[in-house]
A and B are shown apart, each in its own frame.
Chain A
Amino acid sequence: AQKVTQAQTEISVVEKEDVTLDCVYETRDTTYYLFWYKQPPSGELVFLIRRNSFDEQNEISGRYSWNFQKSTSSFNFTITASQVVDSAVYFCALSVGANSKLTFGKGITLSVRP
């Protein structure tokens, strides 16, 4: 069975601070995919990134960056110079092998104050 743990439940920062959202996953499979989704106050789920288990390269997209470390089973998400519009719930998720059911973490509520 697979599991995703987002130990942080709520984070509050002041605008322009950097913030890292942690994600730890568990699976015995060697082929899997990791995801981050954003849920702004409007409620929709917005796809941010997908990473497969064979690609440990970190990725940067504007102010967003992701650090994938198989040695610690972690897939952490950093927002640099946070903005009020980054306020949302962020979910980390895992799918394993040919089974495309996503297992979600419980989410992290990020509040960015002006």
Chain B
Amino acid sequence: DAGVIQSPRHEVTEMGQEVTLRCKPISGHDYLFWYRQTMMRGLELLIYFNNNVPIDDSGMPEDRFSAKMPNASFSTLKIQPSEPRDSAVYFCASRKGPGDSPLHFGNGTRLTVT
């Protein structure tokens, strides 16, 4: 099984640029999560989808952040315009079934905004 696949692994961009992070969940998983991790704030849930439908986006910091899941095998997280404080590791994770099923993480995207 391929696991959760994220791209790119590293992204360095200048302030004001658009950034798009990509995720392919594990086949058959019906929940997809986007997290952000920093030293200061730890692991923060940004948004999650169930069957491609956004369920809770209350963790999205501001309107500069948007996420889509056009089908069961693909999701994007977009930041436009990016700011230095967006620098973090962004993880995508997927899960099959309800809340007590294990969460499987991708390798993450390390974003640096200069």
Q: Do A and B come from one complex?
A: no
By a beta-carbon cutoff of 8 Å, the part of chain A in contact with chain B is none
By a beta-carbon cutoff of 8 Å, the part of chain B in contact with chain A is none
